[in-house]
Amino acid sequence: MSNFQMDDSKTLWQRWNRNAERNPDKEAIVHWVAGEEPVRWTYKNLIETAKKFSIRVKEAGIKPGEVCAIVMHHNPFFYPLYLGISRAGALPAVLAYPNPRLHPDKFRQGLEGMAQRSGLDYILTERELDPIIRPLIEKPGSTIKSVFFPLEWDYKNEVDKKLDDEIEKIALSIKETDPILLQHSSGTTGLQKPVVLSHRAILNHVQNLGNALKLSDKDKFVSWLPLYHDFGLIACFQIPLAYGITSIHINPFEWVLAPILLLEAITKEKATVTCLPNFAYNVLAEKIHDDELNEISLESLRAVINGAEPIRHDSHQKFTEKFKKHGFNPLALSCLYGMAEVTLSLTVHEPGKPIPELTVDRNELSNGVMKLAGKDSVVRVCVSTGRLIDGCDARIVDENRKDLPDGIVGEVAVKSVSMFDGYRNYPEKTAEVVENGWYFSGDYGFRYNDEFFVIGRKKDLIIVAGKNIYPEDIEDTVNQVDGVDPGRVVAFGEEDEQMGTEQIAVIAETKAESEKEKNDLRIAILKTGMSIDVNIHKVYLVPSRWLIKSSAGKPSRKANKERILSREDKQVWSR
């Protein structure tokens, strides 16, 4: 049973402090590094170190309400820094550390876009990024005030009592409706939408999601998810920390190279809850040798929560088959669906029960109707994302935002006590998606017996391994490749069943004719993708005027994807 009690904490800082007072020696964060002893933060140590960081934040001139982007590797001092920023009344915004393949100009361009849109005031990072970030700050008209290197700050000496009292006053003056953090959606060229969440939104979510998952003080989270992603930040960091339980954090860069790290952490720490995007089930089930699993026991796991990308029946099957001999209980399979705009979650499947699945007629479904499969049907297995959590309401609506009955596919519209406060400095975008308190998600799905099934998207967003990628970003970049007809590019997500995720495909019109010209063009397209840290998996080259245009006169992603995947056109060159 859940034993989370909402107390009178109005802010996360108060809540974290309460947890430290109640259970000072309980582990708050276990920072996991492959092959090393983990760094263990108790609630007491974490709070004490966070206080020291908050003083350095104030000394740096950072004021309440200002936004601090944190761009750091997996580091044990990330956590007290994050809490320290919050105590000082500023808003932490975690951004991805640039992958070596990302071109510095593109990284700068992304930061600049975010700064202009959401008003990043400071960048807190590591010294090695100074040469890349500094020109951005020195540029005339820059909205970024300064760059700091908090890992070089003094957090060992005792705190100055007077300064500490001043900051505590700031912390106490923060209201529950004040923002706590800023989250950016993916995207590289200004398409990011900065979501602002309040203390109240997160505290409400702790209670409602905690209840839905039947969290208790015996639970222990383990995660390899990056903290710039809401599934990592909210589900695996904010929720356990506010709840007063332990979360173990594995380096995402290490996990992708050695997925066994997650299983080792579960085994050694007896973790009970983990969160995984769908592709991770495939990787864990298929890419680890059995002889490395001798010491692995997943008996402690009571919830493995699938989220952040479409949930696939096959992935759950593969995972269960592989790990049941290592103590995995299939009833621990769980899932959630939601979006940053409602803090994280709208629906959750309660762990401990089988996840409802429907075997439906694929053709009927593509016409918008859920019909159970008959003997002649081409089938699709739809996996439920669960039922509404407390404090949330949802409707399935048609294109005029009118309600649709159960079993009919439409757009998911949401209302939640953990709703965001709008996109920061982006009222026109907020107005597009919020109407009368309802957030229109752009996701397509249907409701059946109070279960929500999400089956697609209105938006052309591509989700690769849980990471959202806008096709516009890819198209803009590929458009600049010599040999591609300008403006005649389409990017889309292509299902990769083996990996359990989508992969990026590009269709480009070209006048290239010989095999060599086409091969060279493909390499140029792959390389331009690399420069924005996007891995283009498949390139389709087509002759000029091949692409189907939409009514707006631009190449249609949907129509061209369908045409390409029908694989009937001999003019298409692909590799």
State the residues that interact with other proteins by CB under 8 A: 34-35, 99-101, 253-254, 256-261, 279, 283, 287-289, 291-292, 464-465, 499, 501, 519, 523, 526-527, 530, 535, 537, 575
- Give the separation between CA 335 and CA 345, rounded to whole angstroms: 10
**What number of CA atoms fall less than 13 Å from residue 500's CA on the CB side?**
26
The answer to whether residues 244 and 12 touch, using CB atoms and an 8 Å cutoff, is no
Q: Write down the least CB distance from residue 506 to other proteins, Å.
A: 13
User: 99 vs 480, which CB is nearer to other proteins?
Assistant: 99
The gap from C-alpha 35 to its chain's centroid, in whole angstroms, comes to: 27
Cα dihedral value 163, 67, 241, 394, nearest 10: 150
Residues in the chain: 575
Question: For the chain, what percentages of helix, strand and coil (3-state, to nearest 5) are there?
Answer: 35, 25, 40
Q: Write down the least CB distance from residue 72 to other proteins, Å.
A: 18
User: 348 vs 491, which CB is nearer to other proteins?
Assistant: 491
Bridging pattern class, strands 27-32 and 246-250: parallel
Residue 61 DSSP class: T
User: 117 vs 467, which CB is nearer to other proteins?
Assistant: 467
Q: Which residues pair with 451 in a beta bridge?
A: 448
Coil, strand or helix at 321: helix
User: 329 vs 528, which CB is nearer to other proteins?
Assistant: 528
User: 100 vs 374, which CB is nearer to other proteins?
Assistant: 100
User: 523 vs 548, which CB is nearer to other proteins?
Assistant: 523
- Give the separation between CA 475 and CA 490, rounded to whole angstroms: 6
Nearest to 450 by CA among 356, 378, 519: 356
238 by Cβ neighbours in 10 Å (0-12 / 13-18 / 19+) ranks as buried
List phi, psi (to 5°) of 30.
Answer: -115, 115
Q: Write down the least CB distance from residue 535 to other proteins, Å.
A: 4
The answer to whether residues 543 and 509 touch, using CB atoms and an 8 Å cutoff, is yes
The answer to whether residues 441 and 452 touch, using CB atoms and an 8 Å cutoff, is no
User: 217 vs 254, which CB is nearer to other proteins?
Assistant: 254
Residue whose tokens read 């991770």: 280
Q: Write down the least CB distance from residue 281 to other proteins, Å.
A: 14
Q: Write down the least CB distance from residue 465 to other proteins, Å.
A: 6
User: 134 vs 253, which CB is nearer to other proteins?
Assistant: 253
Coil, strand or helix at 452: strand
State both tokens at 306. Answer: 């699938």
H/E element holding 464? strand 462-464
- Give the separation between CA 526 and CA 520, rounded to whole angstroms: 10
Residue whose tokens read 């190279």: 257
Q: Write down the least CB distance from residue 497 to other proteins, Å.
A: 14
Q: Write down the least CB distance from residue 530 to other proteins, Å.
A: 6
Q: Write down the least CB distance from residue 520 to other proteins, Å.
A: 10
User: 85 vs 280, which CB is nearer to other proteins?
Assistant: 280
Q: Write down the least CB distance from residue 461 to other proteins, Å.
A: 18
- Give the separation between CA 210 and CA 208, rounded to whole angstroms: 5
Q: Write down the least CB distance from residue 541 to other proteins, Å.
A: 14
User: 187 vs 529, which CB is nearer to other proteins?
Assistant: 529
Q: Write down the least CB distance from residue 309 to other proteins, Å.
A: 12
- Give the separation between CA 128 and CA 321, rounded to whole angstroms: 44
User: 100 vs 486, which CB is nearer to other proteins?
Assistant: 100
